[in-house]
Structure 1
């Protein structure tokens, strides 16, 4: 009878070990003083400096990258989706005012290819460095017979800390507050099921060069632009300004996420005429004649993060963000009214 082994079932322990060894240098670059031990144990250890806080609250967030991975796999580009993954997690943490401390990742694949895993992990490590958090562990799972050999999915869980009396959110928002927008780098990591449908219906290939994207820049290259990580921008705003709330603009668009930062009895009015959406959104819309309301329900339309703060803090906030090379502008205001977000006017023309 033929010999049955884990390898014959499609799982290579040797390749898994090789992948872990390959990513250790990238992980090491994300370390913080609080990290205890290294990669390879059964759990990641992180020493919270309790003397630093009066009443610390731990915040946690879990997310993935979604079907943007299908485009990454088709293009065989794997070194940026890790940045997307970290952005989805840490920018949800910072919305409540929390400083991200550490992150653990999970990579599931049909077949472990050490070079591909190394590319993914390098992106995750880059994202952690941008956010200032440590990558302290994770899992690489090989799923032969369940996933195609070249397929993979990634997710991560992050943990942050915030003082109990400094938690940001709807409770702090007041009538008269101003909404400041921060520019996105493109589609980010949300709405890619609609993106893929648009490309299919409109017959637009990933290798197509589009003038709006710049010299010889293709659709695929534009879509693979990594998500901007706003964590340090937001933490600087918290340190220097009286921020009342943030809204991370992800799935659901501007209205669907800004509403989560508003208490009952207040309305946010967003003025479209204050900005032009990134060119990628116009290209997607006209490729398949997508309704504007559908675009705005699905995509960030050029706004990746929004801060809500008093009007007397706006100039300071804009100056700080400009100094950090972040395009920012006043996009709307908070007034008394029903609990809604209203988008008004027409987008600015380029």
Structure 2
């Protein structure tokens, strides 16, 4: 059995670490008018009748896949996506980003490739990259790391935090295009270390290689979600499904649960990882499993929202909100896992 902790990432210990850090930083919140609690996808700072949304994230160990393939022109898209998709989750439209590139040694050609991806992601998201930092850190960094911090704006009366979520609401799932940027330590251990696959091996039931599936850029959800904002639908919650899988829904509101019973067919890359002795409970706790973003609304509003979304992406109702605080997911094998 292969688990995330065996691959070197203990998400429970990580949660405790974040909690320790956040508890120390909490005292600084009194210096400004902060709207959201820590732990949400993005922080909100009130400025009159508007709020600034801020979020920071990185590409993570997907960078190791880029190094294996000697292909760096898409990791910038991943960096942008991980930041702007989170900013959307408070009802804000992303507008700008600064990047942080830490390197073991400067490499102008690789930096140029990374920049290509950043530009592509910025263009697709309609944000400006207004600055950044490049640091040479031999002895600290091996090869390189890439992260970004983004900002967005939202009218205070249009903020979406999840506080309006209630039992009976429906979950609209927007499809992912694969692994996105989370769970790569587990994927690499299962596929390469244990199973002995290479990046050039063909995917089962696909025309792509394993490497091509793993390097596929994270989906950007700015266009479809901003389209919803412009229509002013009654949206109760928004969730970017990243590391932690569907347990990310707990970031929106305490005291409710989720019954996820109708997911689209899981992408083949997830099935291949599962076949390498990774438990289903671990799969749905680590990966997005085919859903990259969730819109939560009341049942009467769902069809109108999906009509707008379908101009940009594939979506469907995947479940409903319950009042029992559990998250139950029907897997692609037909069984259920509960968190």
Asked if Structure 1 and Structure 2 have the same fold, meaning a TM-score greater than 0.5 normalized by the shorter chain, the answer is yes
Residue 304 (structure 1) shift:
0.1
Q: Is the 8 A contact 1:54 1:163 kept in 2?
A: no
Query: 2:62 maps to what in 1?
Result: 68
Query: 2:290 maps to what in 1?
Result: 302
SS of the aligned residue for 1:156 comes to strand
- After superposition, the CA RMSD in angstroms is 1.7
Q: Is the 8 A contact 1:173 1:263 kept in 2?
A: no
SS of the aligned residue for 2:81 comes to helix
Query: 1:283 maps to what in 2?
Result: 272
Q: Is the 8 A contact 2:49 2:155 kept in 1?
A: yes
Query: 1:253 maps to what in 2?
Result: 245
Query: 1:44 maps to what in 2?
Result: none
Match of 1:187 among 161, 179, 185: 179
Query: 2:88 maps to what in 1?
Result: 94
Larger Rg: 1
In the alignment, is residue 239 of structure 1 matched against residue 225 of structure 2? Answer: no
Alignment partners' CA distance in 2, 1:126 and 1:346:
33
SS of the aligned residue for 1:319 comes to helix
Q: Is the 8 A contact 2:280 2:331 kept in 1?
A: no
Alignment partners' CA distance in 2, 1:58 and 1:225:
31
Q: Which runs of 5+ in 2 are unaligned?
A: 1-46, 335-339
Alignment partners' CA distance in 1, 2:252 and 2:317:
16
In the alignment, is residue 160 of structure 1 matched against residue 149 of structure 2? Answer: no
Residue 171 (structure 1) shift:
0.8
Q: Is the 8 A contact 1:318 1:328 kept in 2?
A: yes
Q: Is the 8 A contact 1:277 1:347 kept in 2?
A: no
In the alignment, is residue 85 of structure 1 matched against residue 79 of structure 2? Answer: yes
In the alignment, is residue 327 of structure 1 matched against residue 314 of structure 2? Answer: yes
Query: 1:206 maps to what in 2?
Result: 199
Query: 1:136 maps to what in 2?
Result: 130
Name whichever of 97-106 and 123-132 sits farther off: 123-132
How many residue pairs get aligned? The number is 287
Alignment partners' CA distance in 2, 1:346 and 1:84:
26
Alignment partners' CA distance in 2, 1:270 and 1:277:
14
Match of 2:108 among 101, 105, 114: 114
1:130-167 Cα shifts (integer Å, max 9, x gaps) = 1111100011112234444xx11001100111111111
Q: Is the 8 A contact 2:178 2:269 kept in 1?
A: yes
Query: 1:34 maps to what in 2?
Result: none
TM-score, length of structure 1 as denominator length: 0.79
Query: 1:312 maps to what in 2?
Result: 300
Alignment partners' CA distance in 2, 1:304 and 1:78:
23
1:275-318 Cα shifts (integer Å, max 9, x gaps) = 211111001111x2110001111000000000001111111111
Q: Is the 8 A contact 1:169 1:245 kept in 2?
A: yes
1:229-266 Cα shifts (integer Å, max 9, x gaps) = 11221111122221111110001001x111222342x2
Match of 1:340 among 317, 320, 326: 326
Alignment partners' CA distance in 1, 2:61 and 2:318:
30
Query: 2:14 maps to what in 1?
Result: none
Q: Is the 8 A contact 2:171 2:319 kept in 1?
A: yes
